[in-house]
Amino acid sequence: MASHSLHISARDLALTSIVPPLTTAVYPMTHEKISVVKDTPWFTDNEFKASSSDKFIDVHDPATNNLVTRVPQNTDDELKAAVESANRAWPAWRDTSIVGRGNESCSSLLSLQDFADAKGDVLRGLQVAEQSCGITEQMKGELVEVATDMETRSYRIPLGIVAAICPSRATMILAKLCQKAGFPPGVVDVIHGTAKTVNFIIDEPEIKAISFVGGNRVGEYIYTRGSANGKRVQANLGAKNHAAILPDAIKSQALNAIVGAAFGAAGQRCMALSTLVAVGEAREWLDELTEKTKELSLDGGSELGADVGPVISPHSKNRIEELIASAEAEGATILLDGRGYKHPEPIPIPLPMFSFTGNKKSIAGGGASNFYGKPGLNFYTQLKTVTSLWKHENANLVDKVAMVMPTQG
């Protein structure tokens, strides 16, 4: 899944401001070895630029482990240049109304994943577009009459330069779409790297807020260090998604839903189902659930009819096998085991079935910085409150200082 988008980044993102039409014909449809591997550019001032770095991160096709591109560890000058670009852009962007920001040409595309998942992304993309169209409603301020002829209103203004730290394979495609949509230079910048880049984002004074989705260890580090630097940080960490299946459920529908939720995107998405809580007689359905899982079509991910593709890397595969082994050592029964099976196709990872005993903390800071709805918008803005006094022409004016509420004087 990741390989295609990263491959696209290297092969199709020309270092120009002209973006060709996006069609599915553009994307690679095989896992053949690439004869000339190109480096992925970075994105600043609305341009894709080749990095001058001498340090690169290899990105492999998870189905074959073939090298598809190299992502640069941006240099110190490049990291700083991205912040300076955003600094130049944000005052004008801040002063542009919400409605005005929407008066741009918008584009959408289907990012190749497992085809079944990609079809679902079309609907999810439409939902995101609908949510974005309604952003003005959620950005409204509030007004209250606090005293006679006196109003207090609040409104939200942009916070400044903000950053998202994400292991996303779609980032460069989004940058490409921003360029095509006509975003002003500097409004969106994309930099690459590992710990060095993360630490730069955390420590750079001009960056006012950081958003992160990922594992517990990295998320807690970003939250702790970023908060210590006085930044706003929202961090969604690791968690186990649970589903409860009750005996009065429609069996076929429930089992199909469980298999899809557990193994879609090879179980690598944050919405993936980790744990099934089978209640009462529903425990007797586990054998049928196992058989349905065996029916999944396994392939490289982009092939038509593929239900399950590969996990992102050999390291991820080894980690999953270690987790299965540890569960077995602790007494778990493995209903479907693909370990050690030599086969050209990837193997789905068994879904654990056990009673719910608790869940990990999944949002740093106790959930104060929620990603969704109005709290998500509030994270990127700051509240301004104005109290105004409006006296009617026939009001009984008092010509003296009011110590309790000066504006009443």
- How far apart are alpha carbons 272 and 138 in whole angstroms? 29
Q: What residue has token string 């096709």?
A: 61
Strands 56-60 and 67-72: antiparallel
Q: Is 270 a catalytic residue?
A: yes
Beta bridge partner(s), residue 381: 158
Instruction: Choose the catalytic residue: 106, 133, 166, 270.
Output: 270
Using alpha carbons, list the distances in angstroms from residue 102 to 44, 57, 105, 309, 381: 21, 36, 8, 37, 18
- List, in order, residues 6 or more apart from 154 with CB less than 8 Å away: 141, 142, 143, 383, 384, 385, 386
Using alpha carbons, list the distances in angstroms from residue 91 to 63, 135, 161, 187: 45, 20, 10, 10
Give percent helix, percent strand, percent coil of the chain, each to the nearest 5.
40, 20, 45
Measured in degrees and rounded to the nearest 5, phi and psi for residue 188 equal -125, 125
The residues that are catalytic are 270
